[in-house]
Every structure is written in structure tokens, then in C-alpha cells.
Amino acid sequence: MNPTRSKIAFAIAWLLFWTLMVLVAVEDYRRDGGSAYWQPVLWESSSALVATLLLFLQRRHGARFDHLIATPLRWFALQASMLPLYWIVFIPSVFSIRHAVYALAGASYDHEPWGQVFVYESMKLTVFIGLFTMIGFGLLSYRELLGARLREERAASLLREAQLQSLARQMQPHFLFNALNTISSLMHTDVARADATLVQLADLLRAALALGERPQATLGEELRLARAYAGVMEQRFDGRAQVHWRIDDDTLGVQLPAMSVQPLLENVFKHTVERQRAPTRITVSATRDGAGLALRIEDDRGVLGPDADGAGPGLGLSNLRARLAALHGDRASLSLTQLAPAGVRTELRLPCAS
């Protein structure tokens, strides 16, 4: 509950309370045979007016002590210290208004002796102020509770974002090293292809830099990077790898961890293409699966090894798993499945937040 709603809720409760007090006073007056209904209305309205002004002044003065709500005894002691002010100011002010209005109406306002009036009105006022102090304490406590939860959520969000940015930065030099290593190997065998691959690498780096320090990117942005990477690797392996793309248009806006598709492709080239002499067919597909995204990368030659699933010391998949856990917890998964007679399917599933 924000401060504005708290004030509105308290104001409504205050208005309903005094409306009820006026109605009760009018009904009691009618039962006693009275006919000048303006008199009970004046009695309670004058009390409501002065009490409202005093409560407003108290709130203006006491707002800076709202932090004491965490120590209720101190907060209530502060509120209780203002009661004598209510007694001293409230009773003379209310009865002055009543006497003035009665005089204007050509009537006389009779009441008990001042000593009895002061004791009775002070006791009644103490009960009223105590009731609304409890209501105020409840509203302030609830607001403080929500504020504490919001601060905790913000702190957790900032921590999670810092972790994601750190992981994303960790991927960038790792990715660049592998790309440069590819070109270095080509320069010893085919300078023309190395030159063409450098051009593709420039596109690749532009795509990587476009992601910047963002912890997340759309699938469309990720595919731009992945396609550029696949082009570089197809040049390196010269006919030993063919990458096919089957991407549904309605998946392009889905958010996923930045630099997440490229490591999945890299895993296939590292563990399958690099170890095979025969051509490897790689298929990248993305579809909506209910409220989630299913991204699959399949090859027709791979064999799962002990470190191919990212559980070992490899950086790419373990890094991606850490970012998925930070963003989505148990709602996201990354799995590798052995296909028959050969091949590996890498499947990334995560909720569609776009």
C-alpha cells in the first residue's frame, strides 16, 4: 500500500466514524424528545472539526518519527505524549464553537460543571485517539512491511543483474579467442578463405558488441550472432558442417540470456564437427511450446561424452546454465540428449517473457 492509499483509507475510516457519531447523537436526541436536530449535529461536528485539525497537526509533526514503527513501544510512547495537548486544546476549542453557535442562534448552551466536562471529554477523547492511533499503527506497519519487501526485491534484482553481467562479460573474451583461433588456423592453409572469414568475423563482432552489457537479448538478436558464428565455422571446416535454420517468426521477440545460442553451436562444432571427417548436418529450430520457448540444436553425428553437457570444466554450457538459473530458476532448463543411431539434441527451454 503506497502512502497515498494509506491516507485515503485512513480518511475514509475517519469520515465514517464521525458520520456514525453524528447519527448516533441525533438518534439519542430524538429519543429524549428533542426537536432541534441541529444541536446534536453541532455537538459532534464541532468535535470532528477540532479533532481533525489536531490530528492533521499531529501527523505533520509526527511524520518524521515514522521510522520508530519498528520499535512499537517508542512509537506509542511518542503518541501518548501528545495526549495532554489534545486535552488542553480540544475541550476549550470545541466548547467555544458550541457556545458561539448557540449564541448566534439566540440560545444558551448548558452543560455540566467544567471539572466534570474536562474529565468526561478527556476520557472519551483518549479512547477515540487510542482507537485511531491503533489504526494508524496498522497502516504504517503494513506500509513499512511492503517497503521492506520491495527493498529486498530490488536488492535481489540488482544482485542478479550484476551476476548476469559478470557472466556475460566472461563469455565475450572466451568467444573472441575461439573466433581468432579459427582464423589463425585458416591462414596457414588458405589465405583467401582466411580473408573472407575475417570479413565474417567483423560482422560477428558487430553483432556481439550490439548486445553490449545487457544481461538479456531477443532471440532475433541472438540468431544474428549465431548465424555469423556459423558462417565463420563453416568456412573453417570447409564442407564438413552444414547449418540449417528453422525458426518460427513468433519466437523472434522472446527474451533469453545474452550470448546463449552461440555457445550451443560452439559445443556442436567442438565436440562433433571437429572430431568427425564426414559431413555433419546441424539443425537449429525454435518454436513456441505453450507459454514457453523450445530452442533445439540437433546434429546427426555427435556422441555425448563425459564433459559435453557442460557439467565438467567447460565454460560455455555451465555459464549458460548459471544465467538461466539466475533469470528463471526451475522454470528454465538446458538438456542434452543422445539420438539414435547417432547425433545429439541440445534443448533449451524457458518461459516466454516477451
The percentage of residues in the chain with a pLDDT greater than 70, rounded to a whole number, is: 85
Check whether residue 60 and residue 167 sit in a common domain.
no
Check whether residue 99 and residue 194 sit in a common domain.
no
Is the pLDDT assigned to residue 247 strictly greater than 50?
yes
271-314 pLDDT, tens digit each: 899 888 899 999 999 999 888 999 999 999 998 876 555 444 45
Q: What is the pLDDT of residue 284?
A: 97
Which range of residues forms the domain containing residue 267? 159-351
The percentage of residues in the chain with a pLDDT greater than 90, rounded to a whole number, is: 18
C-alpha of 43 from chain center: 50
Under 8 Å between Cβ of 227 and 199:
no
Average pLDDT of the segment spanning 163-173: 54
118-143 pLDDT, tens digit each: 888 888 778 877 877 787 787 778 77
Question: At 55, is the pLDDT very low, low, confident or very high (cuts 50, 70, 90)?
Answer: confident
Exposed, middle or buried, 148 (CB in 10 Å: 0-12/13-18/19+)? Answer: exposed
Residue 80 lies in a domain: yes
Among 149-158, 165-174, 197-206, 285-294, the minimum mean pLDDT is found in 165-174
Check whether residue 168 and residue 107 sit in a common domain.
no
Residue where the block lists cell 526485491: 153
Is the pLDDT assigned to residue 67 strictly greater than 90?
no
Question: At 82, is the pLDDT very low, low, confident or very high (cuts 50, 70, 90)?
Answer: confident
Check whether residue 105 and residue 200 sit in a common domain.
no
CB-based contacts of 136: which residues, under 8 Å, 6+ apart?
Answer: 10
Domain boundary among 54, 78, 111: 111
Residue 127 lies in a domain: no
Distance (Å) of CA 12 to CA 8, 9, 41, 44, 265: 6, 5, 19, 17, 62
Tally of CB atoms within 10 A around 142:
13
Domain boundary among 81, 96, 111: 111
Cα 317 from Cα 264, distance rounded (Å): 7
Check whether residue 173 and residue 65 sit in a common domain.
no
Residue where the block lists cell 541472438: 222
Average pLDDT of the segment spanning 33-54: 85
Q: Which residue has the higher pLDDT, 33 or 254?
A: 254
Residue 326 lies in a domain: yes
Closest CA to 176 of 147, 137, 213, 202: 202
Q: Which residue has the higher pLDDT, 200 or 168?
A: 200
Closest CA to 260 of 213, 182, 319, 345: 319
Question: At 354, is the pLDDT very low, low, confident or very high (cuts 50, 70, 90)?
Answer: very low
Question: At 317, is the pLDDT very low, low, confident or very high (cuts 50, 70, 90)?
Answer: confident
DSSP code at position 33 = T
Check whether residue 56 and residue 204 sit in a common domain.
no
- Give the bridge partners for 298, in sequence order: 283, 345
The string of DSSP codes covering 148-182 is HHHHHHHHHHHHHHHHHHHHHHHHHHHHHHHHHHH
The whole-chain average pLDDT of the chain stands at 80
Q: What CATH number does the domain containing 190 carry?
A: 3.30.565.10
Distance (Å) of CA 68 to CA 1, 144, 310: 19, 11, 51
Cα 213 from Cα 216, distance rounded (Å): 9
Average pLDDT of the segment spanning 325-350: 90
Under 8 Å between Cβ of 300 and 138:
no
Residue type, 277: R
Check whether residue 346 and residue 222 sit in a common domain.
yes
Residue 137 lies in a domain: no
Average pLDDT of the segment spanning 102-107: 88
At 349 the three-state DSSP class reads: strand
Check whether residue 17 and residue 102 sit in a common domain.
yes
201-242 pLDDT, tens digit each: 777 777 766 665 677 889 999 998 889 888 888 877 878 999
Domain boundary among 71, 89, 111: 111
Beta strand spans in the chain (E): 216-218, 241-247, 255-257, 280-289, 292-299, 333-338, 344-351
Q: Tell me whether strands 344-351 and 333-338 are parallel, antiparallel or unpaired.
A: antiparallel
Q: Number of folded domains in the chain?
A: 2
C-alpha of 91 from chain center: 49
Cα 251 from Cα 221, distance rounded (Å): 11
Residue 153 lies in a domain: no
Residue 39 lies in a domain: yes
Residue 142 lies in a domain: no
Q: What is the pLDDT of residue 163?
A: 56
Q: What is the pLDDT of residue 285?
A: 97
Residue 302 lies in a domain: yes
Among 103-117, 118-132, 237-251, the minimum mean pLDDT is found in 118-132
